[in-house]
Amino acid sequence: MGFSEELIEAVKGDYQNSDLFTIEEKVAMRWAEVMTNKLYQGGPGKPPQHRAAMDDLKAHYNEAQIVEISMVSGFFNFWNRFTDSLEIDIEDAPVMNLFATSTSINPDDWTAYMRDCWWNVGKGDAA
């Protein structure tokens, strides 16, 4: 996707203290972290963290942007759970190369790929 190894490591590490991200990027990543790790729930000795994260978002984004950031984070949380639970390897190089130069996904190619997933193995053509 064009991200350097340094940038990827910074996201995985202490992104809040990295000079590679703007403050806006940092608060958006923090919000995604709150959503992903369910830090809005809190627990014994761990108060909910969503209000402070939302205050930071509001300092840098308008309401529409906050909704969009939340939708994107929520979608990727869904997508990860969906593909992980069904053991769909979406990063398989030969498959990704089919879509790398496309700006849209051919529904027939996607349907054929999904029919070839583990839950259909040995079942022939799953209509």
Render 29-96 in DSSP notation, one character per residue: HHHHHHHHTTTTS-BTTB---HHHHHHHHHHH--HHHHHHHHHHHHHHHHHHHHHHHTT--TT-HHHH
Domain borders along the chain are 5-85, 90-127
How confident is the model over 66-116, as pLDDT tens digits? 999 999 999 999 988 888 888 877 665 665 666 556 556 677 776 777 667
Query: Is the dihedral angle over the CA atoms 45, 50, 53, 54 positive or is it negative?
Result: negative
pLDDT of residue 114: 67
How confident is the model over 54-74, as pLDDT tens digits? 999 999 999 999 999 999 999
Determine the residue type at 24.
E
Assess whether pLDDT exceeds 90 at residue 125: no
Right CATH for 5-85 from 3.40.1230.10, 3.60.15.10, 3.40.640.10, 1.20.1290.10: 1.20.1290.10
pLDDT bucket at 121, cuts 50 / 70 / 90: low
